[in-house]
């Protein structure tokens, strides 16, 4: 049973860079059948897609966050990571990693497996 587990600091100072990692267990991140994505949920608000990555390094980013986001993949560790720069209070959120299917070589725009999320608070 494939599982996703987010990890990273629970507290980040404003203007710094947030770094989170998602560890994939029970399956290979190098599978050609999936992209791997990040989604966040600020307290009391809805979900927001951050971006997604393929094992080859191909990425899609939310246009509103693109200038501050970098998503990378480490196949040797079966992990993918999120870096979000110039953090502010509005970036306080529960950050989820998730799996996104590829069907007949086309990215299917939904997430079929999620992690529970890790809470990140931005505060000095």
Partner 1 sequence: QSALTQPPSASGSPGQSVTISCTGTSSDVGGYNYVSWYQHHPGKAPKVMIYEVSKRPSGVPDRFSGSKSGNTASLTVSGLQAEDEADYYCSSYADSNNLVFGGGTKLTVL
Total residues binding partner 1 (CB under 8 A): 22
Residue 7 found at the interface with partner 1 (CB under 8 A): no
Q: In whole angstroms, how close is the CB of 114 to partner 1 at the nearest point?
A: 4
Residue 46 found at the interface with partner 1 (CB under 8 A): yes
Task: Tell which one of 43, 63, 90, 124 touches partner 1 (CB under 8 A).
Answer: 63
Site for partner 1 in 16-45 (CB under 8 A): 39, 45
Task: Tell which one of 115, 118, 120, 122 touches partner 1 (CB under 8 A).
Answer: 115
| Cα separation values, 22 from 15, 103, 115, Å | 23, 23, 8
CA angle 107, 87, 7 (to 5 degrees): 60
From the list 86, 14, 94, 112, the residue with the least C-alpha distance to 46 is: 94
DSSP 7-24: E--SEE-TTS-EEEEEEE
Residue 112 found at the interface with partner 1 (CB under 8 A): yes
């Amino acid at each position: 049973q494939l599982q996703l587990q987010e990890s990273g600091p629970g507290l980040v100072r404003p203007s710094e860079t947030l770094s989170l990692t998602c560890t994939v267990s029970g399956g290979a991140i190098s599978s050609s059948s999936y992209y791997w994505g990040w989604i966040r949920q600020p307290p009391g608000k809805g979900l927001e897609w951050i971006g997604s990555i393929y094992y080859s390094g191909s990425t899609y980013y939310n246009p509103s966050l693109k200038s501050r986001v970098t998503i990378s993949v480490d196949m040797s560790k079966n992990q993918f990571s999120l870096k979000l720069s110039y953090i502010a209070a509005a970036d306080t959120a529960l950050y989820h990693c998730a799996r996104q299917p590829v069907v007949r070589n086309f990215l299917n725009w939904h997430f079929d497996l999620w992690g529970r999320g890790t809470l990140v608070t931005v505060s000095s």
